[in-house]
Every structure is written in C-alpha cells, then in structure tokens.
Amino acid sequence: MTQTSSFGTSKRESHDSSVFYQRSLYSELFQSELPSKEISQIEVPSPQDWDVNEIYQASSTHMHKVPNNSVALAFTSPPYNVGKEYDEDMGLEEYLNLIRDVGKEIYRTLVPGGRYVINIANLGRKPYIPLHSLFWELHMDIGFLPMGEIIWQKGKGASGSCAWGSWKSAKAPRLRDLHEYLLVFAKQSFSRPDKGESDIERDEFMSATLSIWEIAPESAKRVGHPAPFPIALAERVIRLYSYVGDVVLDPFSGSGTTCVAAKKTGRYYVGYDISQDYCTLSRERLLKTEPDSGMPEHGEALANLNHLTKSNHSSSRNGHG
C-alpha cells in the first residue's frame, strides 16, 4: 500500500492518504463527518411512506411535503439572477440568502451520506463574479461536506461568441466561458452508509470520475425553457451519485429535466418550482418518459437504509432544468 509522498506523487492504487488528511490544513478548515454510531440512530423513511413522483408548484425554501432524511440526491441548476424571463432583479446578498434558505432545506431532507450537486456558472466580466466560490463558502457554513468540483465543458470553441474584448490587443481582452461548474456536497458522511444497486457502466464510470465532463448543451427552443441543462448531464449525476430506487430532488426544477432523468433511470423524483407553466411542462415531459428498466417496488434501495431505523407560493425562484 502506498502513502502520501513527501516529494512528488505516487501511484494511487491501494493508497493510504490518512497522513495527508491528518494535517492542520484539514483539521482546522472543514467540518468532520458524523460518527457512524450517530448515523445509525437516524430514522430514514421509505419512499412508500410519503408522496414521491410529484412536481410541486411551491417555494423550495419550505419543502413541507418532503420528510427529514428522505432524499438520496438533490441535483439542480438554480437561477443565476442574470435577467432570464424567470429571474428577479435581486441584489447579491438577497440572492445568496435565497440559495442559503434552499440549501438548509436540502440539508434537512437528505439522507445520511446524501449528495447535493449544484450546476452553477460564474457571471460578468467588469467585474467577474465568482459565484461558485461564494456557493462553496455558503454551503459549507450550512454544514455540508465538500466532495469535489466538476467542470462541465459545453463546447470546444465559442464560435458564436465575439465577446473577446479588445481584438488582438492587450488593452482589454476578455475570456469567453466554455464551461460551468458542478459543485458536489455531502451530508454528514462522504460515503453512503447503506448498500444499493448502482447502474453505471464501466466506461461511463471512468469518464464520470474525471473532473472535466464534455457534454453538449441543450436547446432552449427544443425544451421550451430559456436555460435548460441537457438530460445527459442529469443522467450522469444520477447514475454516479445515487442507487436505483433512490429519491432524487430538484428544488428549482424548471422544465423538469432532473425529474425526467430520475424516472428514466429508475429513481423516484420530487420537483419544486413556483411557475405554473414550468410545472405543467415538467408533468407533460414526465408523462412521455419511460424508465429504462422497471422501477423497484416501494423503493427497495432506500428501504435498505431501514437498518438505521424506519420510520405555496412564496419567494423562491425558478431554476434551469
């Protein structure tokens, strides 16, 4: 077994990194995982005990329909507050307060070891707003454990963009973004304490565990939403970070892409959005979606957590989905 090297890098197979994680850098900066004995005392309801496979037209700052410790994965792309038709003109503090309130609800609803994956882009140029950095700090303050950061590369080149600033001059060149971020958080533990069925294929797993994902963007006109993310992105997140039969939640469900991907991959879904039109669009898309394989009876995967013991409108905004 290899250990963290004091000079250069070493092979990673059967690697013992405990020396690295015992350094002051980690002990002083990040919240610790919850001990397994405490996790074993947490009650986790089965999907058969509450209303799953629903799209709620309501604010995700108060998700009363979703029980504590019931969701395995939350995946969303929140509104970026940049002037899309569903955006309100909020100041940065107000916007981050919204994201914080939703984050607290996500934390409440996630199972031990559950994951929260947020698709976000940075904004502007003069000045540049590093939203992903602000999101990291905000969610770690809530109590989330940081698991990693994925770069979603949406194209090879910005052929349709001419926002390069000063042409061929050092006077004021501007960067043209080809990417967005997926921030990955966990609740209480970096590992799921339960076992379940994973359905990700070998090659997909090898690609998904790299930090750069090359997935083409979705057409807004085709979906009927001004800022949809592709179903391939949602499917990869769902297959990598959840078991078959888990519950997947999108607190800014928009056109319902996360929920469609969840149904398609044999997971249960719950979506929240305040727009009646987008809730209707989501339900229509879900009616047309067939699972790749049969849904498990009564959510056997989350029911495996039962060894741990069993058990309207307001100010939230629309998401991208």
What are residue 119's DSSP bridge partners?
182
* CB-count burial class (<10 Å; 0-12, 13-18, 19+) for 244: buried
Q: How far apart are CA 35 and CA 192, in angstroms?
A: 13
Amino acid at 147: M
Amino acid at 80: Y
Q: How far apart are CA 100 and CA 102, in angstroms?
A: 5
Per-residue pLDDT tens digits of the chain, which is 321 residues long: 555 555 555 555 666 777 766 676 666 666 789 999 999 999 999 999 999 999 999 999 999 999 999 999 999 999 876 544 545 678 889 999 999 999 999 999 999 999 999 999 988 878 888 999 999 999 999 999 999 999 999 876 555 666 777 788 888 888 878 899 999 999 999 999 999 999 999 999 999 999 999 998 866 555 555 556 899 999 999 999 999 999 999 999 999 999 999 999 999 999 999 999 999 999 999 999 988 865 544 444 444 444 343 334 344 456 666
Q: How far apart are CA 254 and CA 242, in angstroms?
A: 21
Amino acid at 155: G
* CB-count burial class (<10 Å; 0-12, 13-18, 19+) for 294: exposed
Neighbouring residues of 231: CB distance < 8 A, sequence distance ≥ 6: 218, 257, 260, 261, 264
Q: How far apart are CA 144 and CA 30, in angstroms?
A: 9
Fold classification of 53-156+175-308 (topology level) = Rossmann fold (3.40.50)
For the entire predicted model, the pTM comes to 0.83
Dihedral sign computed on CA atoms, order 77, 81, 83, 89: positive
> Do residues 149 and 182 touch, judged by C-beta distance below 8 A?
yes
Q: For residue 120, give the nearest of 129, 112, 108 by alpha carbon.
A: 129
Q: How far apart are CA 9 and CA 4, in angstroms?
A: 8
Give the number of other Cβ atoms within 10 Å of residue 241's Cβ. 24
Q: Where are the domains of the chain?
A: 53-156+175-308
Dihedral sign computed on CA atoms, order 290, 292, 296, 302: negative
